[in-house]
Structure 1
Amino acid sequence: MRLTIVMDPLLRQGIHLFNQREFFECHEVLEEAWTPQRGPRRLFLQALIHVAVGFYHCQRGNPLGARGQLRKALRKLAPYLPSCEGIDTALLYREAQEQLARIEAGEPAGEFPRIHHGPV
């Protein structure tokens, strides 16, 4: 599914925080963007929130929480591949999937990905 919506300031701020590895703060900002939404955009933002919270749990050494959030993220992000709102969702999906595989194998978290985005 591909949405063509101009990137709003809250999403832009959330991406910036995500790319700075400030996952808790990212989740807070994205929830602010998510709350008033309905339909596909709401589900897309929810997927990004789950990715951020999953990585936050990785940072905090909580593999159980990370695993649950990343599984939810992958399910919710799948309909928005390969890109949505200018975000390379295919790359984010693949990197979240790799992080989940490391967690499930009992390995330490790997390097956290960045959200790559361009024009909508």
Structure 2
Amino acid sequence: MVSPRDRDVAGRARNARPRDALGRPLPRGAVGEERAPEGVPRTPDEALTEAQRLLDAGRPFHAHEVLEDAWKAAPEEERQLWRGLAQLAVGLTHAARGNDRGAARLVERGAGNVAPYSAAPPHGVDVAGLVEWARRPLAVDRPFRLRGPGPARPPRADSTREVR
């Protein structure tokens, strides 16, 4: 018997199944990671701060959820930026899951979506730094910084797996 799809109070489809740290669904009843709540209204500054906190904590899937909410709520002239930021975060998610091809494609798409904002980056987003980060081999433990140069946290000495 197929169970009915999880829905929120507005009738939108939701997946209430628990998830692991990388957003993969776990069996019903399993203990999963605390999820970033969906549909939380945030200012751009709040969204960037929360997404960066999640990236720094090694939770790129959850950062992607925050950035996706910002994308959906953004004014038309900024939607491509937020979409690109969400794609960069989900690219890291795919890399951490071992899906190197998907990771590289999403990072490339994400960089392409944020690049048009390099002349006048909104909300202090380091567009030039993000585009540069996307050009280098993608290391799972060297996530990007949404504002300011450099990796969000230093690479671990034991990490050698890079994508591309």
Q: Percent identity?
A: 32
Q: Which moved more, 1:77-86 or 1:51-60?
A: 77-86
Distance 1:13 1:52 in 2: 13
Residue 85 of structure 1 pairs with residue 86 of structure 2: no
Alpha-carbon separation, structure 2, partners of 1:26 and 1:111 = 15
Larger radius of gyration: 2
Equivalent residue runs for 1:1-120 within 5 Å:
7-81=44-118, 83-99=121-137, 109=139, 111-117=141-147
Q: Which residue of 1 aligns with 2:33?
A: none
Superposed CA RMSD = 2.1
- In 2, the alpha carbon distance for the partners of 1:116 and 1:33 equals 14
TM-score by length of 2: 0.56
- Checking the alignment, whether the CA contact within 8 Å between 2:92 and 2:140 is kept in structure 1 is no
User: Per the alignment, do residues 68 and 79 of structure 1 end up closer, same or farther by CA in structure 2, a change over 3 Å counting?
Assistant: same
2:133 and 2:144 in contact (8 A); partners too: no
- Contact conserved, 1:24 with 1:53, CA < 8 A, in 2? yes
1 or 2 for the larger relative contact order (CA 8 Å, sep ≥6)? Answer: 1
Aligned pairs, how many? 105
- Name the CA distance, whole Å, in 2 between partners of 1:27 and 1:116: 12
2-structure distance, mates of 1:23, 1:63 = 15
CA distance in 1, matches of 2:136, 2:54: 21
* Unaligned ranges ≥5, structure 1: 1-5, 101-108
Take 2:96 and 2:111, find their aligned partners in 1: how far apart are those partners?
19
Unaligned runs of at least 5 residues, structure 2: 1-42, 149-164
TM superposition score normalised by structure 1? 0.74
8 A contact 2:44–2:70 mirrored in 1: no
CA contact (8 A) 1:21 1:112 kept: no
- Shift of residue 25 of structure 1? 0.3
